[in-house]
Amino acid sequence: MPSSAAWCSLTLTLSRSQASRLPSSKSDLVTCLKMEIDLSQLNENSESETLELKESFDSKALETIGAFANSRGGSILIGVRDDGRVIGITLGSNTLEEWAQKMQSKIQPRFSPSLRKLGFQQRTVVEIKVERSDTPITVDGRFVKRVGRTNQTMGPDEIKQRLFASSGTSWDSQIVSNASVEDLNPKTVAAFISLVKAAGRRPLGGQDTDEILGKLELVQSGRPTRASNWEDLDHRPKL
């Protein structure tokens, strides 16, 4: 029999289409893979930006799935204390499917990590493997990210940037629909254009102010973009 650190048991990997059909027979979903985490080496310092140890599958485990997905990805080991001691977890015939259903109900947009059952010294541990998501996800309506060994709430600006990035656009390029070019301070605009011309990084030639603002992506369709920073107290574009 293989050593406890290398023994691979069962892996339940749920694709989005398969998860939508839960509960169902898992016979077509079960695969045996080589174990990549050495449970015998875990200790109180093992948790990191990409590894979380949990005694049970609870709301904190769900939160960590979101944090990993919104960061670099990672693994959650269920059945391991935070000091690295493997205590194991008891699984029923449908436990993994129930966990997967809870993930589907709590996480938006739908996101399906892989669930892998591991054996260690006659105990069972479940690894939840989370890949990084290009689109930021929420858990119970909250955006969280992984910072070091902790989960932290994402700020509004960071959420906006990630959402725009996932849609192929940037925050700066968004048009401010309730503003007009007249909202921009003419003196500040003139000073900004002078600085750009002096720097010589972008050939502006003899274009008029409106053409220059458009070329610099500070104005689109006759309205300022977020890059103009028009909401500042003095209505100044970024210099």
Banded pLDDT at 167 (limits 50, 70, 90): low
User: For 86-109, what is each residue's pLDDT tens digit?
Assistant: 999 999 999 999 999 999 999 999
> Where do the domains of the chain lie?
8-155, 181-228
CATH fold, domain 8-155, is 3.30.950
Tell me the average pLDDT across 54-60.
96
- DSSP for 129-165? EEPPPSS--EETTB-EEEETTEEEEPPHHHHHHHHHH
Percentage of the chain exceeding pLDDT 90: 44
What is the value of pTM for the model shown? Answer: 0.60
**Statement: residue 179 has pLDDT above 80:** no
Q: Model confidence at 33, in pLDDT bands (50, 70, 90)?
A: very low
Span 117-146, pLDDT tens digits: 999 999 999 999 999 998 899 999 999 999
Quote the pLDDT of residue 162: 82
